[in-house]
Structure 1
């Protein structure tokens, strides 16, 4: 998220599969350790980070409520990047509808659930679709600090699954807060591949808009 306004994600992992895999009922806790926090093509915090998560899936109906966070290990300037997100996801067949509250406190601007124009929260509505190895996502900011209602679309495709390795390709585009400079128009901001084995994932990410590349390693627990 850019927060100055970051507008992290609901599937909550690099190249997340848009809710394509059903989660076990009841509580789930875990954490990721990442070499850097890159979300939708942008690096947040310029530091390795610890990213805890907590969720509950309601038996029988599959609705998921949860919380996810990212805590930078090193300071960027005189602050450490911090983010705490709350979300609810409702599955409907191959679709998943999600409402996410992105909370990114900066300096004195740190009141939770402050959705004013200059507050630290952004509310996003998104819909995901999955079919076999394909995942699609469309999202829009609907309240809070992003008054321009930034939009983001993404497609992922799992193209490799062999010997314990899986690999996905991703391409994503956004406008407003997702793009740099004076260009507020829709632009491709997130491309790359992600390779996973067991609890480890390595991702190469290139943002054509900012012309920046990232190589991210993640361990999940």
Structure 2
């Protein structure tokens, strides 16, 4: 992580003089409906889900504060205790708060992931066994290329789990756009949970038209595939 931080600092120094991409100002609300919630190569909730969002972009600054959630429609996910034993089935719920600060083509983001499970359900409990995980991330975008580096830094940080991703939009024609994604992260969190190395955990292609997106996702570490449909409103 120290090496990554140095590289990102150097990037800021080189790119800070470039113009910040234009962002819509003021409030924004919306929602997605997904056939399943797959995040960084892992299916969370094992159910269709409704995912509302709310954000505010400060005029003249491009700084964004927002909230995002995911609410599973079905009760079909096993709940585990701290020892990994199945306790019961529950309906997956997630509520995230985030702050994004643009620096040239870079986006610096601080996110709090809140996932209540069992008795660990206090919204702002940042103990190591609590329902909150704080992540620091840096995103970079240039034309059709996007890059992301992220690490859990507080709360239930899962041993500071790290994730890196590259995306490239390779098709944009007749109202359709297509993007390929490759992501790598700690096996102990994003992969098969048995290793302790950085592994390829998220690969796939997303095709979008208007408000609809279909994504094929494959996690090479767990050897599991997903096909997800999303409608955005």
TM-score (norm 2): 0.85
**Distance in 1 between residues matched to 2:46 and 2:149, nearest whole Å:** 27
Runs of 4+ residues over 4 Å off in structure 1: none
> 1-side partners of 2:97 and 2:202: how far apart?
23
**Structure with more of its chain in helix, by fraction:** 2
Change (3 A) 1:21 1:41: farther
Q: 1:197 to 1:142 in 2, by over 3 A?
A: same
Residues 9-88 of structure 1: pairs in structure 2 closer than 5 A: 22-76=22-76, 77=78, 78-88=89-99
- Whether contact under 8 Å (1:177, 1:184) holds in the other structure is no
Larger Rg: 2
User: Is the 1:104–1:121 contact (alpha carbons within 8 Å) kept by the matching residues of 2?
Assistant: yes
Q: Give the CA RMSD over aligned residues.
A: 1.2
Counterparts of 1:70-149 in structure 2, within 5 Å, are 70-76=70-76, 77=78, 78-149=89-160
Structure 2: gaps (5+ residues): 1-19, 79-88
Q: Is 2:165 the counterpart of 1:150? A: no
Name which of 191, 194, 212 aligns with 2:203.
Answer: 191
Report 1 or 2 for greater relative contact order, CA contacts < 8 Å, sequence distance ≥ 6: 1
- Extract unaligned runs of 5+ from structure 1: 1-19
TM-superposed deviation, 1:21: 6.8
Aligned residues: 202
In 1, Cα distance between equivalents of 2:56 and 2:207: 27
Q: Distance in 1 between matches of 2:49 and 2:158?
A: 28
